[in-house]
Amino acid sequence: MTVPGGTPSLKILWLNQEPEIQVRRLDTLLACFNLSSSREELQAVESPFQAFCCLLIYLFVQVDTLCLEDLHAFIAQALCLQGKSTSQLVNLQPDYINSRAVQLGSLLVRGLTTLVLVNSACGFPWKMSDFMPWNVFDGKLFHQKYLQSEKGYAVEVLLEQNRSRLTKFHNLKAVVCKACMKENRRITGRVHWGSHHAGRWGRQGSGSHRTGSGYSRSGQGQPWRDQGPGSRQYEHDQWRRY
């Protein structure tokens, strides 16, 4: 990986208390996810959503089958979670269980686990609380938002008609989409997914390659990613299966 100033040693990351080392810690974490070019955008995101956006960018760049509706559901549930009580979350009852939504939720939590480990290895450039699922993710709430987004509900409905959330929603969405565009990954709606996906498979000269289990950039495939909904085994049936 490429880290500004060179890859620091673990001794520096873990034991050095000089203020400028904290900058190198963050540089190293972002380099692990190949997101160094998005440093400025991520730093502008408020806590606890920096780590969340970092993970979303990585997933959407790596997994071609993720679409705009998925992004809307991920962001909407994270924002709505902030205003939910425990009893409200317990009493949530999705209309039905969608297997793809379950898999996407699992993929995100596995990604958060990976982020926790990377953040620890890099000397904690971000607060550990930002990675805790209960601050940015709830399975049933995500399921509800996923079903609504899949049906084409407006963003205002996903955000439960809360105007303050709407501004945050568009800011977080812009950060993710802008960072993905830097990697030549345009996040499209499901109606455009078929042609977009075909174009991505056929794109040349981007430093990308296909692996046996999915699509990833060269040398950056992750075992926890390869089993997710972006894997090659799901492509034949596209969305109808879910």
Choice among 21-30, 45-54, 66-75, 210-219 with the minimum mean pLDDT: 210-219
Model confidence at 192, pLDDT cuts 50, 70, 90, reads: low
Run of H or E residues at 54: helix 49-62
Model confidence at 237, pLDDT cuts 50, 70, 90, reads: very low
Higher per-residue confidence, 242 vs 86: 86
Whether the per-residue pLDDT at 240 is higher than 60: the answer is no
Q: Please report which residue ranges of 64-202 form alpha helices under DSSP H.
A: 68-81, 86-90, 99-121, 133-136, 139-150, 155-158, 163-182, 193-202
Q: Across residues 49-56, what is the average pLDDT?
A: 94
The Cα 230–Cα 219 span in angstroms is 17
Whether the per-residue pLDDT at 236 is higher than 80: the answer is no
Percent of the chain with pLDDT over 90: 62
Rounded to a whole number of angstroms, the distance between the first and last alpha carbons of the chain is 36
Percent of the chain with pLDDT over 70: 79
pLDDT value of position 52: 94
* Omega prior to 48 cis, within 30 of 0: yes
Whether the per-residue pLDDT at 186 is higher than 60: the answer is yes
pLDDT value of position 207: 37
Which residues, listed in sequence order, are joined to residue 138 by a DSSP beta bridge?
none
**pTM, entire model:** 0.77
pLDDT 10s digits, 133-177: 888 999 999 999 999 999 999 999 999 999 999 999 999 999 999
The Cα 211–Cα 184 span in angstroms is 19
Whether the per-residue pLDDT at 209 is higher than 60: the answer is no
Q: Across residues 86-95, what is the average pLDDT?
A: 90
pLDDT value of position 232: 38
Run of H or E residues at 27: helix 19-32
